[in-house]
Amino acid sequence: MKKILSIAMIIMLAVTAGAATAGMYEGKAIKAKLASEEIEGDFMTVWARNFSEHMKMWSDDKIDINVYPYGTLGATGDINELAQMGVVEFVFSDYAWISSFVPQGQVLALNYLFPTEKIPQILDWMVRNGEFMPLMEKAFRKNGLVPLSIMFEGWQWMSSKKAVKSLDDVKGLKLRLMSSKLLVESYKAYGAAPTPMSYGEVYSGLQMGLIDAQVNPLFAIYSMKFFEVQNYLTQLKSEPFLGIPTVNQEFFDGLTKEAQQEMRKFWVDAIIPAGKWITERNASDGEKMKAAKGSLKFNVLDDATIATFKARAETVYPQFTKIGGEGSQQILDALLKDITNAKKALGIN
């Protein structure tokens, strides 16, 4: 009985605390648009809607953010440009597509920088305590944008028509990537023939043989049905897929300080729970793909093979400082330092 009462009290306190935060917004009523690069039901759109609902409750319905899933306002590159121009106020994009507007963002596309575990915890530590995020915000602001957080969406998987067990198997592979010069150079270093392509064109590209393979997290491979026209899924452990919820600078700076703080707080506080959510979702979608296509093969490369990929990836690191824009060396140094310090704080070898 005491246990039931204590649980009830915790729930009541939580509800009371939530209610207390509502009504704190004293600014003007706002209607805004948030463009997501993913379809309805996938990570970015789900968490964009969570953000919209949170801000609406917090502001007593004064801040109304309408979420637009992938394809409703244009392709992935289009929505980033719309956010930069202020046509939409928010965009939820990734480190690769946003790099066309903020070249410094490509640093997150460098392969084999992160450990293979606890990525949400690493990002949470970095955003709260590190030197990297303030430097990134400075770079974003010079391009009319403000990053609010960095979100983990799972590890990237390579899907292909032939088995990939070594560097030799990647040689000459026509591989679709997101639009990032550093990503292209990384996969070129592995021997592949990278082909940036719009998200909505990947399925037909695979089906018609324009490309042999593509790279995406498991949830995207399932929801976009790429697995239907592929035979193998391979985990290189090279690249965590990272999303960056971003807001137009002029719009953001025109908000009250309280609204700015609440928006930042939502996205930072969401890093770890969203990471848990997507980890479970990716595992579930992996099982769904296996059930839907029994011939589909999953493979995680062993440590020795991964080491050969990592050695190639490291040859690309110096290119970031050449194409990453102003302050790129400082940004790379800060990222490496933050990852090292986060690993120490979290007890990761």
CATH class held by domain 155-239+294-346: alpha beta
Separation between Cα atoms, residue 50 and residue 147, nearest integer Å: 17
pLDDT at 11: 34
Strand partners, 298: 233
Burial label, 259 (beta-carbon count in 10 A; 0-12, 13-18, 19+): buried
Instruction: Return the amino acid letter for 116.
Output: T
228 exposed, middle or buried (CB, 10 Å; 0-12, 13-18, 19+)? middle
In this prediction, residue 289 carries a pLDDT of: 98
What's the rounded Cα separation, in Å, for the pair 248 and 199? 23
Q: Which two tokens stand for residue 113?
A: 């920088």
Continuous H helices in 157-201? 167-170, 181-189
- Cα 151 from chain centroid (whole Å): 5
Q: Does domain 27-153+241-279 have CATH number 3.40.50.720?
A: no
139 and 329 in contact (C-beta within 8 Å)?
no
Per-residue model confidence (pLDDT) at position 3: 36
- CA 89 to each of CA 36, 111, 244, 279, 293: distance values in angstroms, whole numbers, following the listed order: 12, 31, 14, 29, 40
Amino acid present at 113: L
Per-residue tens of pLDDT for the chain, all 349 residues: 333 333 333 333 343 334 435 667 889 999 999 999 999 999 999 999 999 999 999 999 999 999 999 999 988 778 999 999 999 999 999 998 888 899 999 999 999 999 999 999 999 999 999 999 999 999 999 999 999 999 999 999 999 999 999 999 999 999 999 888 899 999 999 999 998 788 889 999 999 999 999 999 999 999 999 999 999 999 999 999 999 999 999 999 999 999 999 999 999 999 999 999 999 999 999 999 999 999 999 999 999 999 999 999 999 999 999 999 999 999 999 999 999 999 999 999 8
Fold: same for 27-153+241-279 and 155-239+294-346: yes
Rounded to the nearest 5°, which phi and psi values hold at 107?
Answer: -55, -30
Instruction: Please give the DSSP secondary-structure letter assigned to residue 98.
Output: G
Domain range summary for the chain, segments of one domain joined by + = 27-153+241-279, 155-239+294-346
Q: Whole-model pTM?
A: 0.91
In this prediction, residue 77 carries a pLDDT of: 78
Both tokens of 343, joined, read 């690993």
Residue 22: the pLDDT is 61
Q: Which residue's structure tokens are 């915000």? A: 137
By the 8 A CB rule, do 131 and 332 touch? no
pLDDT at 267: 98
Packing angle, helices 257-269 and 119-129, rounded to 10: 150
